Amino acid sequence: MAENGFETVVLVDNEDLLVMQETLAEGGFEAAHTHDLPYLLIAVSGDRGEVCDADGNQVAEIDYKAFAPGFMAYVGPDVLPTTHALKNTGTEPIVVIRVELRNAVGASGSTRLALGIDAEQD
């Protein structure tokens, strides 16, 4: 794992998708970076974090509900490009699967967030 506690492992890399498992250790910091392509984010673990701007200033706090396993977010072209950093202020590693949609540039669709829900529980 990198000195700042952030690690990326590429799971799939083809012309349509880039799928990565990203891990941010407790107390870790992911440096500011820019997303240009729409992506789906799926939470695996984590309990608390802070989203920061490029200067390291907190712009949002993320609580345990956001990182509950099954939480998903689609970040669409309506908010891209976006630049941010992330701090893990929680008690466990933040682990997410990020799916970059390489051929979705310009596709319609707005950013959406959803908690994982078991369809059988309805």
Question: What is the DSSP annotation of 47-115?
Answer: S-EEEE-TTS-EEEEE-TTTTSTT-EEEE-TTS-SEEEEEEE-SSS-EEEEEEEETT-TT-----EEE-
State pTM to two decimals.
0.82
Of 38-42, 57-61, 82-86, 117-121, the least confident = 117-121
Q: For the domain 6-105, what is the CATH superfamily, name and number?
A: Jelly Rolls (2.60.120.10)
What integer is the mean pLDDT of 29-54? 92
Higher pLDDT pick, 42 / 121: 42
Is a pLDDT exceeding 90 seen at residue 32? yes
pLDDT digits (tens, 9 = 90+) for 61-113: 888 776 778 888 888 888 889 999 999 999 999 999 999 999 865 555 666 65
Domain ranges of the chain: 6-105
